[in-house]
């Protein structure tokens, strides 16, 4: 009885954690930010835990990604630690974007 209950518990927790995994599809030459989990050791209120941007050189199976930094150094990281860097998709200089009627505060 206890064995069955622990098996059910493990299946449910695995399903819960697997459901929370976000699938991200990266391609070579994408720009990404890398999450640095080591900064928890030195807490800083305004310190960002995202470093980069890095360029993707290669996407390997099982979410392994080969990154290139600004100096050309290659290193392999897990794709769960990455998110797309969207700062380069900014508005072109001289272009205006109408925001419509802003709500009154």
pLDDT tens, residue by residue, 40-79: 666 666 677 888 899 999 999 888 999 999 898 999 999 8
* Ramachandran area for residue 90 (φ above 0: left; ψ -120 to 50: alpha; else beta): beta
Please tell me the pTM assigned to this model: 0.62
Copy the structure tokens of residue 70: 């600004």
Whether 12 is in a domain gets the answer no
pLDDT per position as a tens digit, 31-47: 999 998 775 666 666 67
Whether 10 is in a domain gets the answer no
- Whether the pLDDT of residue 98 is over 90: the answer is no
Structure-model confidence comparison of residues 43 and 29, the more confident one: 29
Per-residue confidence (pLDDT) for residue 63, from 0 to 100: 86
Whether 18 is in a domain gets the answer no
Query: Residue 84: which domain range?
Result: 23-90
Whether 83 is in a domain gets the answer yes
Per-residue confidence (pLDDT) for residue 73, from 0 to 100: 92
Per-residue confidence (pLDDT) for residue 31, from 0 to 100: 93
Sign of CA dihedral 37, 43, 45, 47: negative
Whether 100 is in a domain gets the answer no
Structural domain total, the chain: 1
């Amino acid at each position: 009885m206890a064995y069955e209950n622990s098996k059910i518990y493990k299946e449910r927790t695995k399903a819960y954690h697997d459901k929370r995994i976000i699938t991200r599809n990266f391609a070579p030459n994408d720009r990404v930010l890398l999450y640095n989990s080591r900064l928890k050791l030195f807490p800083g209120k305004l310190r960002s835990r995202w470093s980069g941007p890095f360029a993707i050189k290669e996407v390997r199976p099982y979410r392994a990604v080969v990154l290139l930094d600004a100096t050309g150094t290659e290193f392999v990281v897990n794709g769960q630690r990455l998110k797309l860097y969207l700062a380069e998709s900014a508005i072109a200089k001289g272009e205006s974007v109408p925001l419509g009627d802003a709500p009154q505060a």
